Structure 1
């Protein structure tokens, strides 16, 4: 029996949203300044009067744009080493470690950027399906390659990732509205399963 597991990352596998954590870790003083500057945008976002993708790009770009890929990757490694496994939910980790790897494929499907999510995916032996940072000549442009990996986009990306593979059972885990399309599509969709 061939199985596919799809796990959301922030809030499902982890206790916290890693974007703010990583950006703060990357440059604490710049993070504080930009966070305050972005408060009006965050409020508009809460009121659904701004696009998540635009606000996210603006905030991430305000801290990381123009940074060298090598420095970003180095920082991501440090961030991982400092936060794994303490930000990971114990029962999620337990579940993942007990997955029978034979005839099974596991994906982390996240709106978080590949920049900081990749070390976690590697450690958990999963393929990463995420929002992708755009680098040109080894420098972060502040843009994404393609769209923010959330909502319907999560499902599109999963389908692209598995392309023609056939599974007897698809099991998905998520904790927000952005995971609904993925959860509804799976044979088994678990909402806030590890909470």
Structure 2
């Protein structure tokens, strides 16, 4: 079995998606106001006092906490169609289509929320999604991350959880950052910031 695993931000897309998603969902004035309130957490992250999971959780609490999940899911659909689709790299999509034409199993594995990874995967015909999950209580998002941020070693753990032992697979992995290092390390064919030899 052959797996083709793609990161999202700066791999499938030309730019970061999460901050844009927050801005689209909450509107520009509310987004800027949130950034002001988040400055202490951003400063602590810059000083390496907190990790990227705690920083992301602070952002999710600020922008998504207490929103109805159905509302944010609908925003994820709109965000995919109006913004994310236009951010895709043609070379990345071409490589994805090549894998699909070969009959390879394709996955998006990203630290971005599954709320908008899933609609993108559906539109691209990708076989599965592994992303950051958010806690829902009584139909509302709490702003808490469910488990670990899908970053670094968590990408590999989640991949094993989905498909089982990886030794029986030939894996093509595409990534662009430190958060993809572990995923690229276990790949048979690792591609860092490129889509072919």
TM-score (norm 1): 0.92
Q: Which has the higher helix share?
A: 2
Over the aligned positions, Cα root-mean-square deviation in angstroms equals 1.8
2:21 match: 22
Q: 1:177 to 1:84 in 2, by over 3 A?
A: closer
Per mean C-alpha deviation after superposition, the further-off stretch among 164-173 and 72-81 is 164-173
- CA distance in structure 2 between the partners assigned to 1:191 and 1:12 by the alignment: 9
Aligned counterparts, 1:134-173, within 5 A: 134-164=135-165, 167-173=168-174
Which residue matches 1:97? Answer: 97
**Residue 194 of structure 2 corresponds to which residue in structure 1?**
193
Q: Which runs of 4+ in 1 moved over 4 A?
A: 164-168
- Give unmatched runs, 5+ long, in structure 2: none
Q: Aligned residue for 2:131?
A: 130
What stretches of structure 1 of length at least 5 have no aligned partner? none
SS of residue paired to 2:158: helix
Q: Which residues of 2 match residues 26-45 of structure 1 at below 5 A?
A: 26-28=25-27, 29-45=29-45
Q: TM-score, normalised to structure 2's length? A: 0.91
- Cα 1:47/1:15, change in 2 over 3 Å: farther
Pairwise CA distance, 1:90: 0.9
- For 1:125 and 1:116, the matched residues in 2 are separated by 14
